[in-house]
Structure 1
Amino acid sequence: MTVKKTFPKILWLIVSSSIFFIILYFALFYYTKKAEKEVYKDSVEHFDNEIHKLLDLESKPVLVAINNDSNWDEFVNFIASKDKVWFDQTIGNELEIYDAEYLGAYDAQKNFIIRTPTPRIKTLDFIPKKAMDLLDKEGIKKFYLKIPEGIVEVTGAAIHPSDDPLKNKTKTSGYFFVVRLMDKEFFENLQHITNSKIEFLGSNVVIKEEKNKIATAFQLKDSNGKVIGQLLFQRNFEIYFENTINLLYIIIVTFFISLLVNLIYTRRLVYYPLDLIRRVLETGNKKAIKLLKESNGEFSYIGNLFEENNNQKLELITAKIKAEESDRLKSSFLANLSHEIRTPMNAINGFTDLIINTNINETEKLEYLNVIEKSGKNLVSIIDDLIEMSKIDSNQISPNYTVVNLESCVSELYETIKVTIPKKSIEFILIKSSMPAEFNIITDDIKLKQVIINLLTNAIKFTDVGMVTFGYEIDEKNEQIHFTVRDTGLGIDEQEHQNIFDRFKRVDSDVSIKVGGLGLGLAISKAYVELLGGSISLESKVGKGSTFYFSIPLKYAKVDNIMVRPVNNLEVTKSDSKLILIAEDDNINFLLFQKMMQHKNYEIIRAINGREAVEICLGNPNIDLVLMDIKMPIMTGFEAIEQIQPMRPNLPIIAQTAYSSSEDKAKIEEAGFTDYITKPLDRERLFELLTKYL
């Protein structure tokens, strides 16, 4: 019943739309002639704009090149010296660059100096002085001239020193001209660029309009603005209206044939697919979608769209679940962050209050201060991780490749971490490579060290009894360096492996809660390894320990064979009286420096900003060392060292900064600082630096 009711409606739709089509066709025919004129007019205007833009674009390289050459101090010197050898070797070799036949130079008095032509131009000096007067006003100008060899395109520029960007006409040193001959080769190139037929016309020739062609003229003007000729650009106008009536008969006959075919096949080709579409829209029937995809023509495409729409709905549902999970994880992360920050802050505030407001003996006071110091370090570590993760997320981190002695790097890390392990029940072992690096390698040593330190710190943190080992192997065949960090600690559940490197996820357990932290170390390590072009992976079983593997590309800096440098143990000795300048705008930080150094034999003076630091360093030759704050008013530490170093290159200048990322450290080294110390200040690190450089 539905088919019988619907089919007459479809038939009536076909007939009525056909009648409408015929009426519409005759109406369109009426306006065809009118449209023909409008189309022709618009085409000519568009063609004219296109030609002028293409000609401007074709001249652009010459204008850019001549602007660079004419604003060149060496060219200014040539005008004065008239050194022919310099011109031939420097400017004369640029004929091919300019794609020109003539390069010429004139002095400030508009006298001819020299030229470099191709054999096609014999004329020596043909640039009018009025053209040079025009260059005094406009700087650069393109115009056309008639010379015995034919019409030429001339691009001229006034020559100025590089310190005269505004091209002050009072500083004009001379004039430089680039000449291109408008010969057969020039026209062929122009025809290719504009996809047009080009014809040269006289200055007074009027362009005739042709029915099947569009044309535009480009006037060739000399330096006075006088038209000396025209370039006629023509292109075929492939729009014909004469066959419209004949096409009408063909269309009408074709229409009736197609109408008959439509009546026969409407049910199979139109109604049935429309019915399938109705079923899909009403119920989302998957079987109807499948049948619709098997239909012919556009209905098959519609079936594909329905299927894609269903898939997208499923993807949206999945994405919504993931977004909700992400929100939940972020909320959990923020709650954990709040807890981790409040824990050391609670200790700092609480024990500080006890020291200030209660009567305690020296032993208790020392115990409380140790707790405050440890809590402060934990707080700084949390903030450093958050800042580093923020920089990674905003793509502000980039590798700083340097030449690295890999054996020394690994040995130094081993010795450094070894002395920090408080647990005597943990055996810390460095696995020697079976094939050590034969040459220095190229990598970012700061990020490499940070990855190893993060992995070793985690391994030690979650291992109560047993051992922690690390080492590397060289894989020259695949050009890789493979690092391994292994522990016999608690291990990680296999279900957590896929989330272990995610920044908002942490394996929550009694031990992880006990040791604290945000769990960003592994996320930062993964980001660093991938930044260096490598990969990181994990093997772990609960109760048996964990093994982290990561690889980075092997790039040798092939110089002499390397030797492992021993780890230097600094011998701290008390120096004689030395004069130290502390550039620090913060009163509390300066007071801290004073209190740390009050029992040492040092004389201290202070600068409260960068400018004052520069004045003191340059005015007092007795200063032996400078502790320079990076962020100061009036003049920063970076600006101050730029002025101090040229005058006192041997003065040790140590940067003190609250920034601690690898990029900040690299920036400090590039600025020329002798060394650096980070805030919060470490007393032992301070005295180590003072002993080293004094």
Structure 2
Amino acid sequence: MTVKKTFPKILWLIISSSIFFIILYFTLFYYTKKAETQVYKDSVEHFDNEIHKLLDLESKPILVAINNDTNWDEFVDFTITKDKVWFDETIGNELAIYDAEYLGSYDAQKNFIMRTSTASIKSLDFIPKPAMDLLYKEGIKKFYLKIPEGIVEVTGAAIHPSNDPLKNKTKASGYFFVVRLINQEFLKNLSHITNSEIQLVGPSYNYSEEKNKISSVVQLKDSQGKIIADLLFQRNFEVYFENTINLLYIIIIAFLVILLMNLIYTRRLVYYPLYLVRRVLLTGNKKAIKLLKESNGEFSYIGNLFEENNNQKMELITAKIKAEESDRLKSSFLANLSHEIRTPMNAINGFTDLIINTDVNEAEKSEYLNVIEKSGKNLVSIIDDLIEMSKIDSNQIAPNYTLVNLESCVNELYETVKVTIQNKDLEFILIKSSMPAEFNIITDEIKLKQVLVNLLTNAIKFTDVGMVTFGYEIDEKNALIHFTVRDTGLGIDEEQHNNIFDRFKRVDSDISIKVGGLGLGLAISKAYVELLGGTITLESKVGEGSTFYVSIPLKYAEMEPITVSSVNNFEITKSDDKLILIAEDDNINFLLFQKMMQNKNYQIIRAVNGKETVEICLNNPSIDLVLMDIKMPIMNGFEAIERIQPVRPNLPIIAQTAYSSSEDKAKILDAGFTDYITKPLSRERLFELLTTYLEKRE
């Protein structure tokens, strides 16, 4: 009787427990599927937000650049004069800046003026007139077009004078458009930026969602809002839930076998993990996720899923912060660049206008010309820094090791910098080494000098009163040369020490704003020092000055004692009846050569291209010297010298070039040129070369 009464109780217990666990595991299945749906939904949403933000950031440099160009008075003048030379030399060179295939301009009546483009776009005038109408209201607009070459991204802006702060929406001086072709290279670059697979599909394309992929669609609309194509972004989504239902069936089938064990361990194996799942779903608690991962079976898998979801959120947040910081720094750098370029240009244009259009005496004219010359040099310095930083970023800089007389190098540097100190109560001292270098060393002298000049120039800039010292010491034990540049000037706040060598960051203060500059000097110096295998460090306190330490490897050449050469001033001598060939296609540059040498008794003839230069040199043996432009039509300077040298090996040929880096200069000398002069032309440097290769050859 007891057995009969007990059996129904046990059976009831089994049945009720079965029902309980069936409900429990279906609850688990429900939460799992809910988590799957939520995670997938969140991932798609985050992916879609990430794509749109990255696309906005990718377009930001174009918007900044086009805003600057279309608020330019010279551009306004161009829409009236339609000066092709101005457009080719000024706007035509900006294809690389915009990273675009086409730059087009229209006048105020929406008539096409001219364009510059790469070979990938042959079409001339394809911007619809209604798109220009929208620019009255919106100022700058981005849209898409379908042209014979394919689908293109168009960014357009109305052209206004710089003194039109209200951006007159009923009248524009013209229109300017930047066009990028959405080709395989464009999609490849976009795929790299977004870390996703990209397809360019038609607006009617139907795609099916896949569990192991997340997708985002960006509609490409024309200026009237009509969809002309879609960009389909897809990224792998490595989260799978297919095994959940299978495991559920196995658990239900095996339930009767493990019922007793489950009754004992229900709280530990089921209830508590479900409690953790609930905490994670409600609050995203990290500790609950960690405990869930440490649990058994499917709960551990769910814990990994939650952790991956949290990690994706953190990665997105981190990426967003970095993107915003990068965008802020680059925008700040571009704004500073615009300011630094426009400042000397303002002085050049302003004082030139005063000289031309006003009555000024000789003293005032001399003062204005000095300002123009100084501003021109500042502008060249800014451009040189930008080009050098660009080459460093693209790994186009390599050390050019030569034998260097270290003592002579340091003495020459001291004398060169010393003459630049003016109007300052400042002591500039060269500290003699306690153990001077007894032998020549092997290093890149040009880059070493550039580093030291940058450091000394900064020290002098930021020290109005006090002392600037520099020197070196030989560290035989560690095979190093230690250079020290110390000043008693402004000093640098300790919080800025980690940023001082960053290329997009500059320590802003009243003095730094006053002296100007892009703040690239220390970034270039750091890159050069590391290229030479050395290190650069800083010690500084506000109000007490700064000390920069540069260490480079010590490597002696052959052990032959050296003597220190003195630094001599160069004297210009006068020559007459020398025949000089100037190979220059630009009329203004040729006129400048003529005016510089008008007081010398030189005979000057001209060639306007490389081919003509070769013919004149080979057919006129009385030519004494050639000033040859590197960049000429028909045949460039490198091609021309290859044909002249075998026939006239002793003819001095001096390259005139706009390239100023040490690598470019080495390439010029390796090509066989006797010497070089850089643009903008220096009258003193020109006379120095003429004296060296004409007068002193006699």
TM-score, length basis structure 2: 0.61
Question: 1:649 matched to which residue of 2?
Answer: 649
Give the superposition deviation at 1:419. 1.2
Give aligned-pair identity as a percent.
83
Q: After the TM superposition, which residues 350-369 of structure 1 pair with which residues of structure 2 at under 5 Å, given as runs? A: 350-369=350-369
Structure 2 CA distance, aligned partners of 1:431 and 1:317? 52
Matched residue SS, 2:536: strand
Matched, 1:8 2:22: yes
- Does the aligned pair in 2 maintain the 1:7–1:271 contact within 8 Å? no
- Does the aligned pair in 1 maintain the 2:18–2:255 contact within 8 Å? no
User: Which letter maps to 1:7?
Assistant: F
Structure 1 CA distance, aligned partners of 2:310 and 2:686? 65
User: Which letter maps to 2:605?
Assistant: I
Give the superposition deviation at 1:377. 0.9
Question: 1:181 matched to which residue of 2?
Answer: none
Distance 1:258 1:612, change over 3 A: farther
Matched, 1:400 2:400: yes
Matched residue SS, 1:680: coil
Distance 1:406 1:307, change over 3 A: farther
1:61-87 Cα shifts (integer Å, max 9, x gaps): xxxxxxxxxxxxxxxxxxxxxxxxxxx
Matched, 1:524 2:518: no
Structure 1 CA distance, aligned partners of 2:599 and 2:379? 29
Question: 2:196 matched to which residue of 1?
Answer: none
- Does the aligned pair in 1 maintain the 2:424–2:464 contact within 8 Å? no
Give the superposition deviation at 1:441. 2.3
Question: 1:624 matched to which residue of 2?
Answer: 624
Larger-gyration structure (1/2): 1
Structure 1 CA distance, aligned partners of 2:260 and 2:645? 93
Structure 2 CA distance, aligned partners of 1:308 and 1:555? 52
Matched, 1:260 2:274: no
Give the superposition deviation at 1:356. 1.0
Question: 2:493 matched to which residue of 1?
Answer: 493
- Does the aligned pair in 2 maintain the 1:579–1:625 contact within 8 Å? yes
Q: After the TM superposition, which residues 147-296 of structure 1 pair with which residues of structure 2 at under 5 Å, given as runs? A: 260-261=257-258, 264-265=261-262, 267=266, 269=269, 272-273=272-273, 275-296=275-296
Give the superposition deviation at 1:318. 4.1
Structure 1 CA distance, aligned partners of 2:531 and 2:426? 32
Distance 1:360 1:280, change over 3 A: same
Give the superposition deviation at 1:689. 0.9
User: Which letter maps to 2:495?
Assistant: Q
User: Which letter maps to 1:671?
Assistant: A
1:105-150 Cα shifts (integer Å, max 9, x gaps): xxxxxxxxxxxxxxxxxxxxxxxxxxxxxxxxxxxxxxxxxxxxxx
Distance 1:441 1:315, change over 3 A: farther
1:457-476 Cα shifts (integer Å, max 9, x gaps): 11111111111111122223
User: Which letter maps to 1:406?
Assistant: L
1:579-612 Cα shifts (integer Å, max 9, x gaps): 1111111111011000100111211111111111
Question: 1:385 matched to which residue of 2?
Answer: 385
Structure 2 CA distance, aligned partners of 1:646 and 1:258? 97
Structure 1 CA distance, aligned partners of 2:495 and 2:501? 13
Question: 1:439 matched to which residue of 2?
Answer: 439
Give the superposition deviation at 1:316. 4.0
Matched residue SS, 2:673: coil
Structure 2 CA distance, aligned partners of 1:469 and 1:690? 36
User: Which letter maps to 2:21?
Assistant: F
1:493-547 Cα shifts (integer Å, max 9, x gaps): 1122121111222122221121111111111111221222222111111111111
Task: Give unmatched runs, 5+ long, in structure 1.
Answer: 15-252
Q: After the TM superposition, which residues 480-629 of structure 1 pair with which residues of structure 2 at under 5 Å, given as runs? A: 480-629=480-629
Structure 1 CA distance, aligned partners of 2:319 and 2:654? 51
Matched residue SS, 1:471: strand
Question: 2:409 matched to which residue of 1?
Answer: 409
Q: How many residues align?
A: 455
User: Which letter maps to 1:260?
Assistant: V
- Does the aligned pair in 1 maintain the 2:576–2:600 contact within 8 Å? no
Structure 1 CA distance, aligned partners of 2:448 and 2:475? 17
Give the superposition deviation at 1:12. 8.2
1:614-663 Cα shifts (integer Å, max 9, x gaps): 12112222211111111111111111111222222222111100111222
Matched residue SS, 2:473: strand
Distance 1:505 1:5, change over 3 A: farther
Matched residue SS, 1:656: strand
- Does the aligned pair in 2 maintain the 1:433–1:471 contact within 8 Å? yes
Give the superposition deviation at 1:299. 4.7
- Does the aligned pair in 2 maintain the 1:11–1:263 contact within 8 Å? no
Distance 1:355 1:3, change over 3 A: farther
Structure 1 CA distance, aligned partners of 2:19 and 2:382? 74
Structure 2 CA distance, aligned partners of 1:500 and 1:523? 8
Question: 2:203 matched to which residue of 1?
Answer: none
Question: 2:429 matched to which residue of 1?
Answer: 429
User: Which letter maps to 2:469?
Assistant: T
Supply the RMSD in Å over aligned alpha carbons: 2.9
Matched residue SS, 1:654: strand
Question: 2:471 matched to which residue of 1?
Answer: 471
Matched, 1:686 2:692: no
User: Which letter maps to 1:637?
Assistant: G
Question: 1:249 matched to which residue of 2?
Answer: none
Structure 1 CA distance, aligned partners of 2:487 and 2:257? 83
Distance 1:269 1:561, change over 3 A: farther
